[in-house]
Amino acid sequence: MKILHIAWKDTITRLRDRRAIIGFLLAPLVVAGLIGAAFGPAFRGERPLSDIPIFLVNEDTGEIGDIYAEVLSSPDLDGLFAVTESDDLAAARAAVESGDARAAVHIPADFSEDLLAAAQTAADVPVTVAVYTDPTASISPFIVSAVVERITLSVNTLMLSGQIGTNQALSHAALLGPALAELDSIVPQVIEAQAETAGQTSIGLTRLALGEEETDANPFSYFAPATAIFFLMFSMMDSTRSILQEETMGTLPRLITTPTPVSHILLGKIGGAFLTGILQFLVLVLASAVIFRLDWGNPLALAAVMLATVFAATSLGALISALARNETQAGILGSAITLVSAALGGTFAQASTLPAFMQPFSKMTINRWSLDAFLELTFGQADMAAIFPHLGVLLGMAAVFFFVALVLFQRRFVR
């Protein structure tokens, strides 16, 4: 009970600080709004991403598989994709998993033959095109998946209308390129109307992807969680630094002389920072949902990521305070680590665009794992299972930081 009492008292004290409320609650919303307004067009297709590295593994010897190759490599999409053709599916998937490519598109062997045979016999046999996407990327997987899905839809529609054959396939590919170059109107109205009859036939063309289904690209789906994490880090550094402030003022030494165990006092102080972080993030989530109309996705998964992120940030702040000699040094260290983590973790620009040699450093930050988890929810509408790896890393970081900080504080104050 004493731990909760100390934590609640510290939380109430911080909430009475108007300057802190402005800095840690209003500022993130303002910054997210400004950045979202400035860079929003890039998320709406007005300024699309460029040179997205993808692998194309076309094992089909027929003409229909060449539609995918022709469209993805067409001049109309040349600025959007950087396509590498390969015969090795395992190598292509390895490139995606390592971050060297954002996606790999696989056209299986006998694709054309199986598809035409299914059409002629009216057999209900699905023919599959697989799209493997980088789980650490945020936006490019949805673009690749959307383009492949539209090609698939067009092929399906042409099959349904009886307009496609081995001699006509590539002529249709030439028409698809310019259409796909306009991402906001990829599929014409007529094609979409024809595709509605797809469920009435036995011809199936199934897309398998490691990413999620295409969603509307709300720029705040990226910038709201990015800025929330950024300001949370500053807030947690400031909150845990209050332990050193009380040490300097003499209130903490007096508190230690009471019958309350030192461990309970420290847990209460760190717990107060944790509660402050939860309230801060919760307000930002609710405000962004109302102001920016942001859908944060699965509520249970959102709560889990939020708790893990705040726990990790609080523990890191406590560790820095435990390592610092005084409040000033803790402030300098905390600010430096927060800014570096933000730069590496994707706050200012997508982490997936960082050079390959910086990717390992990026994945050592709380920002990267937390932001990727939130993007799985806001962009991909993922469920709890999809964010388990992110939660595992965040909680692992939090546990290590928290344990080391507690040990160092105990040695510092118990003499």
Q: Sketch out the chain's domains with CATH numbers.
A: 2-42+217-413 (no CATH), 47-209 (3.40.1710)
Residue 14 near residue 238 (C-beta atoms within 8 A): no
Q: What is the pLDDT of residues 374-405, one digit of tens each?
A: 999 988 788 899 999 999 999 999 999 999 99
What integer pLDDT is reported at residue 96 of this predicted model?
Answer: 86
Q: What is the enclosing helix (H) or strand (E) of 55?
A: strand 52-58
Q: Which of 34-48, 62-76, 248-262, 333-347 is predicted most confidently?
A: 333-347
For residue 162, CA distances in Å to 69, 128, 138, 200, 322 come to: 22, 20, 38, 15, 72
Six token digits for residue 325: 């000699």
DSSP for residue 60: -
Strand ranges for 74-134 from DSSP E: 81-85, 103-107, 126-133
CB atoms within 10 A of CB 172: 19
Q: What is the pTM of this model?
A: 0.58
Higher pLDDT, 77 or 331: 331
What integer pLDDT is reported at residue 64 of this predicted model?
Answer: 77
Q: What is the pLDDT of residues 107-157, one digit of tens each?
A: 888 887 877 776 666 555 567 888 888 766 667 777 787 788 777 777 776
